[in-house]
Amino acid sequence: MYPYQNLWVFCCEELPIGPLKRDTIECMLADEFGKWYGHGISLFQSSFPIRSAYYFPVKGQYTFSFRQGMRNDQLPGIQEIGLRVLPSSTNAPSGKRPNEEK
């Protein structure tokens, strides 16, 4: 059983060109009474949006890496984390921000 309410994760995003982007994300896994968010029976799955209205500025390979940011090296109860990329609901052309002129 995971002993904490939250999980801190360090995210690194490596673009095809340009500087490495780093972010710190707090994932709330349970409420203050210990009731787990997400869905499952013995294993729970939760989703945490880390970007909204994001666009990939250039074509190429993007590399995302994640590292847990908790004080303990071992995190009992955490088996894995993953990344899922979903298409944006905007109709922006590739490489353009939704409000950017052509």
**33-89 pLDDT, tens per residue?**
989 898 888 788 888 888 777 888 889 999 999 999 999 999 998 988 888 888 876
DSSP the chain: ----SEEEEEEEEE-SSSPPEEEEEEEE-B-TT-PBPSEESSSEE------SS---SSSS--EEEEEE-SSSS--TT-----------SS-PPTT--TT---
The answer to whether position 92 is within a domain reads: no
Tell me which residue range forms the domain holding 29: 1-51+61-83
The answer to whether position 6 is within a domain reads: yes
Task: Report pTM.
Answer: 0.74
Give the count of domains, the chain.
Answer: 1
The answer to whether position 76 is within a domain reads: yes
The answer to whether position 36 is within a domain reads: yes
The answer to whether position 99 is within a domain reads: no
**20-34 pLDDT, tens per residue?**
999 999 999 999 998
The answer to whether position 100 is within a domain reads: no
